[in-house]
Amino acid sequence: MSTDVRERVRKAKEAYIALMSESSARKNEALEAMAAALDSGRAAIMEANAKDLDAAEDMLAEGKLTPALLKRLKVDDAKIDEMIAGIRDVKGLPDPVGRTVSALELDDGLELYQVSTPIGLIGVIFESRPDVVPQIMALCLKSGNATIFKGGSEARESNRALFDLLTGAIASVAGMPSDAFQLMETRDDVAAMLDLDDHIDLIIPRGSNDFVRYIQDNTRIPVLGHADGVCHVYLDENADPEKALEVAVDSKVQYAAVCNAAETLLVHAAAAPALLPGIADILASNGVELRCDAASKRIVAASGAEAVDATAEDWDTEYNDLILSIKVVDNMEDAVAHINAHGSGHTDAIVTKDRGRAARFVAMVDSSSVMVNASTRFADGYRYGKGAEVGISTNKIHARGPVGMEGLMIYKYVLLGEGHAVKDYAGKGARPFKHLSLSRQLEIR
């Protein structure tokens, strides 16, 4: 491994110790300086971005880059405005560090506090979206986390320009440890980062499913994210027809290229003849290709809409496109079993008038978001009121679903005593503990 990577990681970790005890006021001062630096540095950012775009046009011509990636790479004035607004949004969020989560009196003069703290050193590995740099740097600075960034080579100039402006702004606040943020630039650096499980506490990948899966499969560092988003909408026996249509159509067509769009529609056998024709019609008129099992194909075809046969593979596929697989199920239990077997634990919805069945669906579907009579597309940090989104996680530990700044936090225990020793609470004549809940913030002064 390059000694340079190790050295920078060491620097960042050292700076983290200073960063985690910075005051809210000073962190907000740095965030304001970051926003101002992007505003006054527009020319430099766009000049750097132009270099990346030039190279990317060539790559596009050679088929080495997709038009979608090229589009995401472009930084214009409106994009810079968004970056600046994003930093100021984070500035406006409450400081997540040092909150007392719980407090307990163990005995006279012996008080235990559980206090929120940053996680430590975050590794952010991302593809051609330069706006990841200001967004994650703002979130990590506010939450007291050091960060190693590694962007795609196609955005190298843009990332470097943004990174230099932002860390320069942080350094302009006297004593702020701007070394907490480091930028890696080569492909070898990624491999080095993924190996540093002794130093990096959490990896946040931002990019395609294959990219995220590659990261997950090649590191022992915990990864916050999701590779797949195979989401379902289940229309129950007694679903309200209008709501069924609204939810099924919105979940698929409102924005098909994203992880929280539905890929499979499950319909109760008793409801399918009444519900499916109308829904299939609207979906087809929105350009959606319908891939049906035998039962749903009969109904869809009879209504005049086009349908193709679904293969076994379809039930496990995230299309990220205007394609929907459709299956008729005999009952809700079959729908739940299908979702738990084929879904990715991301977001799944039921449309039903029956509250009892809704409750059972919510209890039995093992996904990070479960919707009742609402579109799967609501599963998103902004819509969930997070203020800023770190990502969407299908992990079963730490943070699940849309993750805001809370996903960058952990806690420590602080025990305040007056010379207390465990020997007095052990063996014969042991003092008992009180374990009385306190509604008090940690204050040492």
Site residues for a second copy, window 345-364 (CB under 8 A)?
A: 351, 355-356, 358-360, 362-364
Residues 159-178 contacting a second copy, CB under 8 A: none
Judged by beta carbon, residue 57 or residue 255, the one nearer a second copy is 255
Comparing C-alpha atoms, which of 334, 382, 30 is closest to residue 181? 30
Per CB under 8 A, the segment of 216-224, 289-297, 298-306, 321-329 that binds a second copy is: 216-224
Q: How far is the CB of 90 from a second copy (least distance, A)?
A: 16
Using rule CB under 8 A, residue 257 touches a second copy: no
Using rule CB under 8 A, residue 101 touches a second copy: no
What length does the chain have? 445
Token representation of residue 272: 């399918």
Q: How far is the CB of 381 from a second copy (least distance, A)?
A: 11
Phi, psi of 219 (to 5 degrees): -155, 155
Residue 152 exposure: Cα atoms within 13 Å on the Cβ side? 23
Place of tokens 């809409």: 305
Token representation of residue 277: 């024709």
Among 110, 192, 194, 307, binds a second copy (CB under 8 A): 110
Using rule CB under 8 A, residue 422 touches a second copy: yes
Q: How far is the CB of 435 from a second copy (least distance, A)?
A: 4
Using rule CB under 8 A, residue 366 touches a second copy: yes
With a CB cutoff of 8 Å and minimum separation 6, the contacts of 339 are 232, 234, 266, 348, 365, 367
Token representation of residue 255: 């924005």
Using rule CB under 8 A, residue 426 touches a second copy: yes
Judged by beta carbon, residue 217 or residue 321, the one nearer a second copy is 217
Q: How far is the CB of 395 from a second copy (least distance, A)?
A: 8
At 116, the amino acid letter reads S
Contact status, residue 146 vs residue 181, Cβ threshold 8 Å: yes
Distance CA 387, CA 211 (A): 26
Q: How far is the CB of 86 from a second copy (least distance, A)?
A: 17
Using rule CB under 8 A, residue 155 touches a second copy: no
Q: How far is the CB of 228 from a second copy (least distance, A)?
A: 12
Among 243, 289, 301, 317, binds a second copy (CB under 8 A): 243
Using rule CB under 8 A, residue 25 touches a second copy: no
Among 93, 275, 367, 390, binds a second copy (CB under 8 A): 367
Using rule CB under 8 A, residue 12 touches a second copy: no
Residues 329-348 contacting a second copy, CB under 8 A: 336, 340
Q: How far is the CB of 255 from a second copy (least distance, A)?
A: 8
Q: Which residues of 139-159 are buried (b: 16+ CB within 10 A; e: fewer)?
A: bbbbbbbbbbbbbbebbbbbb
55-to-58, 65, 66, 73, 133 alpha-carbon distances in Å? 5, 10, 13, 11, 20
Judged by beta carbon, residue 157 or residue 179, the one nearer a second copy is 179
Phi, psi of 288 (to 5 degrees): -85, 130
DSSP 432: P
**Sign of torsion over alpha carbons 236, 241, 242, 245:** positive
Among 31, 146, 231, 247, binds a second copy (CB under 8 A): 247
136-to-190, 420, 426 alpha-carbon distances in Å? 18, 42, 48
Distance CA 409, CA 384 (A): 18
Contact status, residue 71 vs residue 382, Cβ threshold 8 Å: no
Token representation of residue 164: 């230099």
Using rule CB under 8 A, residue 429 touches a second copy: no
Judged by beta carbon, residue 211 or residue 411, the one nearer a second copy is 411
Using rule CB under 8 A, residue 191 touches a second copy: no
Region label for 427, one of left (φ > 0), alpha (ψ between -120 and 50) or beta (otherwise): left
Per CB under 8 A, the segment of 130-138, 154-162, 182-190, 241-249 that binds a second copy is: 241-249
Neighbours of 415 (CB within 10 A): 11
Judged by beta carbon, residue 49 or residue 375, the one nearer a second copy is 375
Kind of pairing between the strands at 289-292 and 401-403: unpaired
Judged by beta carbon, residue 77 or residue 424, the one nearer a second copy is 424
Q: How far is the CB of 65 from a second copy (least distance, A)?
A: 28
Using rule CB under 8 A, residue 199 touches a second copy: no
Among 280, 370, 388, 405, binds a second copy (CB under 8 A): 370
Q: How far is the CB of 10 from a second copy (least distance, A)?
A: 10
Task: Assign 246 to helix, strand or coil.
Answer: helix
Judged by beta carbon, residue 166 or residue 204, the one nearer a second copy is 204
Judged by beta carbon, residue 103 or residue 169, the one nearer a second copy is 103
Using rule CB under 8 A, residue 92 touches a second copy: no
